[in-house]
Structure 1
Amino acid sequence: MPTKIILSSLILCIILLAACQEEEVETSTPSVTDSLPTASPSVVTLDAKVFDEGGVVLSGELITDGSISDYGFIFSADSIFDEYSDNLIFLEDPPKLGRFEASILSSLRGETTYFFRAFIKFGEETIYGETKKFESSGSRCPIISRIAPEQGHLEDTIQLFGKYFGTSTYSSSTHVTFSNQYSRIISIDDSVITCVVPETIVEHQHRVTVTSMGKSAAIPFSLYSPLIELIEPASATFGDTLKLFGQHLDHVAERNTIMLGNAKAEIVTSQRNSLEFIVPDELAENIPSLQLTSQLQTVNAPASFSIILPEIVNAPECSNAYEEITLEGNYFHPVSHQNRVFIEGVKAEVLSGTTQQLIVRVPFGPFPNGSGRIDIGVTDTVVTTEQQICIQDPWLMISNSLPFSFYGDVGTFTINNRVFVVSDPEDYQDQNLYLWEFDEETISWTKETIPFNVQHSGTCVGNGSKGYVYTATSTDNFWEYDPATTTWTQKPDFPGARRDKPTSFSVNGNVYVGLGTDFEPYFEVDYFDFYKFDASLNQWIKVSDFPNDPYTRGRTEASTFVIDQAAYVVGGARTTGSYSAWKYQPSEDQWVSIADFPDARNYTSAFSLDGKGYIANGSPVGGGERKECWEYNPASNTWSPFFDIGHKSRFRGFAFVINGTAYVGGGSGGRYDDLTEYELYKLRK
Structure 2
Amino acid sequence: MKSKIGIWISIALFGLMMSCTTEEDSTVEEGNWIKRSSFDGVGRSGAVSFVIGDKAYIGLGFDGDDYLTDFWTYDPDQNYWQKAAEFPGVARSGAVAFSIGDKGYVTTGYNDDELVEELGDTWEYNSATDTWTQLADFGGSARYKAVGFATGGYGYVGTGYDGSHLKDFWRLDPASGEWTQIVSLTGEKRKGAVSFVIDSYTYVCTGSNNGLYEADLLAFDPSEAGWSQLEDVNEDDDDQDAILREDGVAFVLDGKGYVTVGSLGSNQNTTWEYTPGSGVWTEKTAFEGTGRTGAVAFTINGRAFVALGQSGSSRWDDIWEFVPTETYDEDD
- Decide whether aligned partners of structure 1 residues 516 and 393 sit closer, same or farther in structure 2, where only a CA change above 3 A counts: closer
Higher RCO (C-alpha under 8 Å, 6+ residues apart): 2
Aligned residue among 394, 415, 424 for 2:32 = 394
- 1:546 alignment partner AA: L
Residue 97 of structure 2 is aligned to residue 460 of structure 1: yes
Residue 205 of structure 2 is aligned to residue 567 of structure 1: no
Aligned residue among 296, 309, 314 for 1:654 = 296
- The answer to whether the Cα contact below 8 Å between 1:476 and 1:490 also exists between their aligned partners in 2 is no
Residue 160 of structure 2 is aligned to residue 532 of structure 1: no
Q: Higher Cα Rg: structure 1 or 2?
A: 1
**Gapped runs of 5+ residues in structure 2?**
1-29, 110-115, 234-239, 326-332
Output one character per residue of 1:99-132: Cα deviation in whole Å (capped at 9) or x when no partner. xxxxxxxxxxxxxxxxxxxxxxxxxxxxxxxxxx
- Decide whether aligned partners of structure 1 residues 439 and 425 sit closer, same or farther in structure 2, where only a CA change above 3 A counts: farther
Q: Distance in 2 between matches of 1:413 and 1:540?
A: 20
- 1:465 alignment partner AA: D
- Decide whether aligned partners of structure 1 residues 634 and 624 sit closer, same or farther in structure 2, where only a CA change above 3 A counts: same
**5 Å matches for 1:261-280?**
none
Aligned residue among 588, 605, 609 for 2:253 = 609
Which portions of structure 1, spanning 4 or more consecutive aligned residues, are displaced by more than 6 angstroms?
A: 473-476
Question: Paired residue for 2:43?
Answer: 405
Output one character per residue of 1:44-66: Cα deviation in whole Å (capped at 9) or x when no partner. xxxxxxxxxxxxxxxxxxxxxxx
- 1:457 alignment partner AA: G
Residue correspondences, number: 278
Output one character per residue of 1:9-44: Cα deviation in whole Å (capped at 9) or x when no partner. xxxxxxxxxxxxxxxxxxxxxxxxxxxxxxxxxxxx
- Decide whether aligned partners of structure 1 residues 476 and 397 sit closer, same or farther in structure 2, where only a CA change above 3 A counts: closer
- 1:655 alignment partner AA: A
TM-score by length of structure 2 reads 0.77
TM-score by length of structure 1 reads 0.39
- The answer to whether the Cα contact below 8 Å between 1:437 and 1:446 also exists between their aligned partners in 2 is yes
Q: Distance in 1 between matches of 2:57 and 2:289?
A: 26
- 2:168 alignment partner AA: D
- 1:435 alignment partner AA: F
**Gapped runs of 5+ residues in structure 1?**
1-391, 519-523
Aligned residue among 215, 224, 228 for 1:579 = 215
Q: Distance in 2 between matches of 1:535 and 1:456?
A: 23
- Decide whether aligned partners of structure 1 residues 648 and 457 sit closer, same or farther in structure 2, where only a CA change above 3 A counts: closer
TM-superposed deviation, 1:418: 1.9
- The answer to whether the Cα contact below 8 Å between 2:186 and 2:228 also exists between their aligned partners in 1 is no
TM-superposed deviation, 1:476: 7.0
- Decide whether aligned partners of structure 1 residues 401 and 566 sit closer, same or farther in structure 2, where only a CA change above 3 A counts: closer
Question: Paired residue for 2:263?
Answer: 619
- 2:201 alignment partner AA: A
Q: Distance in 2 between matches of 1:443 and 1:576?
A: 39
Greater helix content? 2
- 1:666 alignment partner AA: L
- Decide whether aligned partners of structure 1 residues 548 and 510 sit closer, same or farther in structure 2, where only a CA change above 3 A counts: same
- Decide whether aligned partners of structure 1 residues 610 and 468 sit closer, same or farther in structure 2, where only a CA change above 3 A counts: same
**5 Å matches for 1:63-78?**
none
Aligned residue among 215, 224, 229 for 1:588 = 224
- Decide whether aligned partners of structure 1 residues 503 and 476 sit closer, same or farther in structure 2, where only a CA change above 3 A counts: closer
- Decide whether aligned partners of structure 1 residues 572 and 531 sit closer, same or farther in structure 2, where only a CA change above 3 A counts: same
- 1:565 alignment partner AA: S
Greater strand content? 1
Q: Distance in 1 between matches of 2:305 and 2:226?
A: 30
- The answer to whether the Cα contact below 8 Å between 1:453 and 1:471 also exists between their aligned partners in 2 is no
- The answer to whether the Cα contact below 8 Å between 1:403 and 1:425 also exists between their aligned partners in 2 is no
- 2:208 alignment partner AA: A
Q: Distance in 1 between matches of 2:232 and 2:75?
A: 36
Question: Paired residue for 1:446?
Answer: 82
Q: Distance in 2 between matches of 1:671 and 1:449?
A: 26
Q: Distance in 2 between matches of 1:624 and 1:478?
A: 32
- The answer to whether the Cα contact below 8 Å between 2:205 and 2:217 also exists between their aligned partners in 1 is yes
